[in-house]
């Protein structure tokens, strides 16, 4: 609920939509353990809430998140990192079943870029800056950046970014397909993400869950297995009430009243 978090603002600004805003302005929303405890709790609360159909994750106009907190991790040893599974709890977002849209304004660097890429849909504004600058710190991306950025924008460009630490502008992120849409301002970006989340939240939660699941399988399976998986899930939806409701409503020229069953 609102007010329960120190490093986040958590609200429900639209019907069915949960909004999580990073709120650590002094450190440009640098990501650290206490923030992840809160983020994971907020994501899980929205994921299990019957009221919520989709979520938006955003930061400030200046920074989505300027990366992992360098001051928190600089003294870690190999045992601290490997032994305690540093970063493991960063990817709880991957286990969220409802769609999550990242609305990126300002800096999305290092772990900030990686976290934005864990979302199901990415939006940004022209003022966004994406980058994996870990090489400048003597390390490499550690929260999926080398894999997700490469799949999103291709090997040559991802390799160039990861080896040089050079950034990608919001405009380029749109041109290269890293993000689904680029907005002129931070406010328009957040509003656009909320519009999309509200639209998703207006559909059958069963169908939305299935749609997210099958699209995500395309990242892990070969095309043939992926299509077979899709077909099984598609067939399975004929066992849902919402399939009957949706198709009957179309045939009767009515608006469907989803039961989410």
> Interface with ligand HXC by CB under 6 A: which residues?
27-28, 30, 66-71, 87, 90, 107, 109-111, 114, 133-134, 137, 141-143
**Does residue 173 contact residue 124 with C-beta atoms inside 8 Å?**
yes
By beta-carbon proximity to ligand HXC, the closer residue of 131 and 246 is: 131
> How near is the Cβ of 132 to ligand HXC at its closest, in Å?
8
Return d(Cα 92, Cα 105) in angstroms, integer: 22
- In the complex with ligand HXC, which residue's Cβ is closer, 46 or 90? 90
E strand map for the chain:
8-14, 17-22, 54-58, 63-65, 100-104, 107-109, 121-125, 129-131, 168-169, 181-183
Distance from first CA to last CA of the chain, Å, rounded?
A: 26
Residue in 68, 103, 173, 197 annotated catalytic:
68
We find the least distance from the C-beta atom of residue 28 to ligand HXC, in angstroms, to be 4
Residue 134 annotated in active site: yes
In the bound state with ligand HXC, the residue whose beta carbon lies nearer, of 172 and 191, is 172
Give the nearer residue to ligand HXC in terms of CB position, either 148 or 205.
148
Residue 98, φ and ψ in degrees, nearest 5: -85, 155
Instruction: Tell the smallest beta-carbon distance from residue 72 to ligand HXC (Å).
Output: 7
Q: How far is the CB of 133 from ligand HXC (least distance, A)?
A: 4
Instruction: Check 42, 110, 114, 174 and give the catalytic one.
Output: 114
**Would you state the structure tokens that stand for residue 34, as one six-digit string?**
């206490």
Is 111 considered catalytic here? yes
38 is catalytic: no
Q: Rounded to whole angstroms, how far apart are CA atoms 1 and 22?
A: 15
- Minimum Å gap between C-beta 137 and ligand HXC is 6
Among left, alpha and beta (phi > 0; psi -120 to 50; other), residue 253 is left
**What residues contact 149, with CB distance under 8 A and at least 6 apart?**
113, 117, 132, 141, 158, 161, 162, 178
Contact by Cβ (8 Å): 230, 217: yes
Shortest Cβ 106–ligand HXC spacing (Å): 8
Q: What's the distance, CA 243 to chain centroid?
A: 27
Catalytic position from the list 53, 59, 111, 246: 111
Closest residue (Cβ) to ligand HXC? 110
Q: At which residue do the structure tokens 């931070």 appear?
A: 186
181-183 and 54-58 as β-strands: parallel, antiparallel, unpaired? unpaired
**Among residues 134 and 230, whose Cβ is nearest to ligand HXC?**
134
* 114 vs 120 by CB, closer to ligand HXC: 114
Q: Which of 110, 134, 144, 197 is catalytic?
A: 134
Q: Which residues are tagged catalytic? A: 68, 111, 114, 134
């Amino acid at each position: 609920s609102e007010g329960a978090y120190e490093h986040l603002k958590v609200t429900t600004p639209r019907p069915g939509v949960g909004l999580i805003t990073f709120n650590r302005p002094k450190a440009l929303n640098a990501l650290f353990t206490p923030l992840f405890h809160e983020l994971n709790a907020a994501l899980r609360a929205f994921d299990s809430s019957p009221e919520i159909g989709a979520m938006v994750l955003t930061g400030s106009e200046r920074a989505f998140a300027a990366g992992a907190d360098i001051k928190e991790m600089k003294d870690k040893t190999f045992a601290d990192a490997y032994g305690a599974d540093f970063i493991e709890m960063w990817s709880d977002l991957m286990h969220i079943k409802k769609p999550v849209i990242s609305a990126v304004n300002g800096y999305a660097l290092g772990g900030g870029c990686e976290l934005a890429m864990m979302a199901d849909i990415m939006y940004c504004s022209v003022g966004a800056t994406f980058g994996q600058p870990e090489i400048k710190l003597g390390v490499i991306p550690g929260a999926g950046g080398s894999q997700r950025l490469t799949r999103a924008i291709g090997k040559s460009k991802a390799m160039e970014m990861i080896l040089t630490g050079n950034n990608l502008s919001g405009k380029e992120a749109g041109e290269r397909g890293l993000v689904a849409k680029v907005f002129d301002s931070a406010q328009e970006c957040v509003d656009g993400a909320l519009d999309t989340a509200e639209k998703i939240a207006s559909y059958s939660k069963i169908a939305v869950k299935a749609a997210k699941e099958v699209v995500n399988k395309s990242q892990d399976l070969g095309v043939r297995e992926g299509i077979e998986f899709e077909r099984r899930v598609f067939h399975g939806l004929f066992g849902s009430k919402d399939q009957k409701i949706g198709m009957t409503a179309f045939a009767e020229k009515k608006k469907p009243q989803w039961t989410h069953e």
